[in-house]
Amino acid sequence: MEQPPGFCDPNLPHHVCRLNKALYGLKQAPRAWFQRLCQFLTKNGFACSRSDTSLFVFKRDACLLYLLVYVDDVIIIGNDASLIRSFIAKLNAEFGIHDLGKLNYFLGLEVTHTSTGLFLSQKKYAHDILDRAKLLDAKPVPTPLASNAAFVTNGDLYSNPTHYRSLVGALQYLTITRPDIAYAVNQVSRFLQAPCVAHYQSVKRILRYINGTLTFGLSFSKPLITNLYGYSDADWARCVETHRSTYGYSIFLGGNIVSWSAKKQPTISRSSCESEYRAMANTAAEIICITHLLKELHALPPSRPALLCDNQSALFLTQNPVSHKRSKHIDLDYHFIRELVASGKLHTKFIPTKLQVADIFTKSLPPSQLHAAGFRFYSLEEDKGIQKIYVWEKEVYLPVFTLNKDSDVIIRNLVAYESLTSKSNSFMLAEFIVLMCALVVNVDDVQYLKNVIKGDLHVDEVVKFFTEMSSSMPTMKTIEKSNLKYVEDEDIFVYEEACTMIASGFKGYW
């Protein structure tokens, strides 16, 4: 290191200092600090995760301790409070730390502790983005992108590309808790080098959508059944210029979404089957990665993970490892999904397109489809053996609503409610969830909602209750058709519902 100002040796002005320890500001300092911390943690019985080197796991008998590191910020969780306090004392004695107490904010993520689990959001971060873009007073829109929006490279160049890159980069970080904007952000991220005016208008639309959904985030609750499953989807030749396909996936652990992605495939697919097959291979890779992580956390689900796709031909390719004339050109690295299926480490299943949750990661959808995606779960943790079929149709005027964090908690409590009625003239649990997608929920009247779930109220009474809740709210005419079925499956309890709904405004979020 060069001699610092004020400490130069006049007799040896060209000499340098030899460092005995890492100095703040050097490029080697972060690595040196991490190695020092690793030595301390290893000495105290922690093991560094192979899946994520910033994660450390401690296990002693039934006691578990997890430690997540980001530079000098640390999160510690475990199932033994006394063990946590003891380790924090050791950490403080070794390094001198500031214990900030219960986790509520970390790297821009707001953590809210609820009665059922955790709620993650980035409200403050999203507000800062809107403030930077001067769109705090902008009129909200129901979707991040217009339906079937197409992006091309030609057009008038935007005058401030640095501002464009700054906003898009911020939106990319916002997708940590906002999967609903993942596809839109992926589209505008393709033009960072030379953005056009039309691309900037799309960014502004995304921000207007966020302005109306600032309180949205991810809810995590303790599941009754911890199963790992993923949805995979692809939109063949979505790019109008390169004709490359866009694929996406969403992976759930016990009903909680833990991973998702929206990307453009690197090569052109010659058929929709090929694009779906490539998407399934990438989804399978992510599932296996999560499986390895769960194994290191000593929380591996007992059942094998499942992968759901809405393309039968792609499913046959994963389950029948033979050479096909139209698929023999596919790269070998995509065929590893066949080995996973053959070895029993993964099983693939068909899912109807109308129930495909990952559809929101492959194309811009209208409000009615985008807003229902968060409720189309294929795993409602109910008791085994439930088999009920109920069909209904009704045309009513219903008020528009927006789901917020509190009502999302109410929904998850109701989903977990074990009481299902067999009365033909009463509201069932699944029907109520569908109706929630089109109604304002008065979270103050929880007891009334419980009566709805128990089946104590007639259908007409429920409709009357909701339609008379607020005469000042805007209404919409909706025709709802639902075909609801609970069946026992090998590893997953299947929940099928088909709901046709004319909607306006965002209807909820998982």
CATH top-level class of 222-361:
alpha beta
Residue 249: predicted pLDDT: 92
Query: What band does 206 get if pLDDT is binned at 50, 70 and 90?
Result: very high
Nearest to 338 by CA among 313, 320, 314, 311: 320
Residues in the chain: 510
pLDDT of 194 > 60? The answer is yes
The predicted-structure confidence for 463-486, as pLDDT tens digits, reads as follows 555 555 434 333 333 333 333 333
Distance CA 374, CA 215 (A): 15
Per-residue burial over 33-71, b if 16 or more Cβ lie within 10 Å, else e, is beeebeeebeeeebebbeeeeebbbbbeeeebbbbebee
Q: In sequence order, what are the beta bridge partners of 221? A: 117
User: How much is the mean pLDDT over the chain?
Assistant: 74
Q: Taking 80 as the threshold, does the pLDDT of residue 239 lie above it?
A: no
pLDDT > 90? residue 269: no
- How high is the pLDDT of residue 329? 67
Residues 411-455: pLDDT tens digits? 444 444 333 333 344 444 444 544 554 343 444 444 555 555 455
pLDDT tens digits, one per residue of 11-35: 888 899 888 888 888 888 889 999 9
- Where do you find CATH 3.30.420.10 in the chain? 222-361
Does residue 122 register a pLDDT over 50? yes
Query: pLDDT tens-digit profile of 378-397?
Result: 222 222 232 332 323 333 33
Per-residue pLDDT reduced to its tens digit, 291-304: 999 999 988 888 88
**C-alpha to C-alpha distances, 286 to 230, 283, 311, 366, 488, nearest whole angstrom:** 9, 5, 19, 28, 27
Q: How confident is the model at residue 154 (pLDDT cuts 50, 70, 90)?
A: confident
